[in-house]
Copies of this chain bind each other. A is one copy, B any other.
Amino acid sequence: MDFELTSRQRDLQMKTREFIANKIIPMESDERQGAHGPEESLRAELVDLARQAGLLTPHASIDMGGLGLSHVDKAIVFEEAGYSRLGPTALNIHAPDEGNIHLMEVVATREQKERWLRPQVQGHIRSCFAMTEPDGAGADPSMLATTAVRDGDDYIINGKKWFITGAHGASYVIIMAKLEDGSATMFLSDMDVPGIEIVRLMDAMDTCFTGGHAVMQFNNLRVPASQVLGELGKGFRYAQVRLAPARLTHCMRWLGQARRAHDIATQYARTREAFGKPLGKHEGVGFMLADNDMDLHTARMHIWHTAAVLDRGETGNFESSRAKVVCSEAQWRVVDRCVQILGGQGVTGETELMRIFTDMRSFRIYDGPSEVHRWSMARKILDGKAPTP
């Protein structure tokens, strides 16, 4: 057992930390950010900075142009990138691209990879993942209503999706649809084709995702059979391939944001005076800082442990569910406490904190709300299928 970073990990950590501090944080006040995330021109500049720093798309395989990071490597690097809300965009490790890249690496054909994955790894194009639907498919995948019907060499796809992060501006989409036999399959499609309509952008509490969240409609979208992703009928299995690590990378990036919040609050508690002494000397505030430290370390340990499980080649479904609940709730407590410490400044745009707060609330919901994970964990515990020491 060992909690030490390798020297390569330590180097990557420091390199990323400095990159974020020196290149990315200064851009946080750039005005090209609105209700639906950074604009494309800003994104391109950020990606360029990461490219110059040798940190672009580090989780992609070396073959595809990445650094071939392991899950544990990612835990180190993504936390650092997450320290700025613009960091994941710069490194091209934001959701949903990060997870899509992982899925494409594992499942896509050589041709599919060359067509979509390689330019994506190079930061030139973005993607989206169209699974969630208005009537319930999301937390409960059995409710999937979008259909794909075979028509000669093609499939005809119809259905409505929403909460499709990054759809606006994406070059391609991964679509989850139901075949006539009821099984779920994934399809790849360019976005700029007939039959794909972005109905509207949703007004959302978080504003950190490039392209925001969209409602999409597939109207007789025609997709050639060559654009099936992986095998027919394995849609849900691939969703798990994508989700277990994708959940964990959420934890990593948000850990960076929570640490940032804690650093802002700590600095404030050191310098702000109230009732005759620095705020942090009041136990009511100091205890919150201590609780933050506990929660941050708890989150980090769950992430590292789960990453190591994934690196051993296990599916890590239980561990990633658990890490997702623990991290999303612990990191939320951290950010909420930081807001409280800053008082009025915590609920206004005087610091980055307010945006961290409003960005982070959805983390307890996306990729499975806490309740679904608790339910799934309970089932496994009762069935004797939870990991034991």
Interface, chain A (partner B; CB < 8 A): 1-6, 9, 13, 72, 79, 132, 136, 138-140, 142-143, 162-163, 202-206, 213, 259, 266, 269-270, 272-275, 278, 280-287, 289-291, 293-294, 297-298, 300-302, 304-305, 308-309, 322, 325-326, 339-340, 343-344, 346-350, 354, 357-358, 361-362, 364-366, 369-371, 373-375, 377-379, 381-382, 386, 389
A294 touches B365 (CB 8 A): no
Main secondary structure of the interface of A (DSSP, over half): helix
B293 touches A381 (CB 8 A): yes
Which 5 residue pairs are nearest across A and B when measured between Cβ atoms?
A: A286-B378, A203-B349, A301-B301, A283-B283, A290-B377
B347 touches A361 (CB 8 A): yes
Residues of B within 8 A of A3 (CB): 1, 304-305, 308-309
The residue from B162, B285, B340, B354 contacting A205, defined by CB atoms under 8 A apart = B354
Q: Apart from A3-B305, A294-B322, what are 19 other A-B pairs with CB-CB below 8 Å?
A: A3-B308, A79-B389, A139-B343, A142-B275, A203-B348, A203-B349, A284-B284, A284-B375, A290-B322, A290-B325, A290-B378, A290-B381, A293-B381, A294-B325, A294-B326, A298-B302, A343-B365, A347-B361, A347-B365
Chain B's nearest CB lies how many Å from the CB of A168? 14
Closest to A142 in B: B275
B163 touches A374 (CB 8 A): no
Alpha-carbon distance A5/B2, docked complex (angstroms):
10
The residue from B293, B369, B381, B382 contacting A322, defined by CB atoms under 8 A apart = B293
The residue from B2, B202, B343, B364 contacting A1, defined by CB atoms under 8 A apart = B2
Alpha-carbon distance A143/B269, docked complex (angstroms):
17
Alpha-carbon distance A298/B300, docked complex (angstroms):
10
Chain B's nearest CB lies how many Å from the CB of A146? 17
Alpha-carbon distance A286/B13, docked complex (angstroms):
39
Residues of B within 8 A of A205 (CB): 347-348, 354, 357-358
Q: Which of A139, A206, A369 has the most CB of B within 10 A?
A: A369
Q: Which of A143, A375, A382 has the most CB of B within 10 A?
A: A382
The residue from B132, B305, B366, B371 contacting A301, defined by CB atoms under 8 A apart = B305
The answer to whether A377 and B136 touch (CB under 8 A), given A72-B1, A204-B349, A365-B340, is no
Residues of B within 8 A of A139 (CB): 274, 343
Alpha-carbon distance A357/B378, docked complex (angstroms):
22
Residues of B within 8 A of A13 (CB): 389
B375 touches A287 (CB 8 A): yes
Chain B's nearest CB lies how many Å from the CB of A241? 22
Alpha-carbon distance A298/B344, docked complex (angstroms):
26
The answer to whether A374 and B291 touch (CB under 8 A), given A204-B348, A297-B322, A348-B204, is yes
A202 touches B350 (CB 8 A): yes
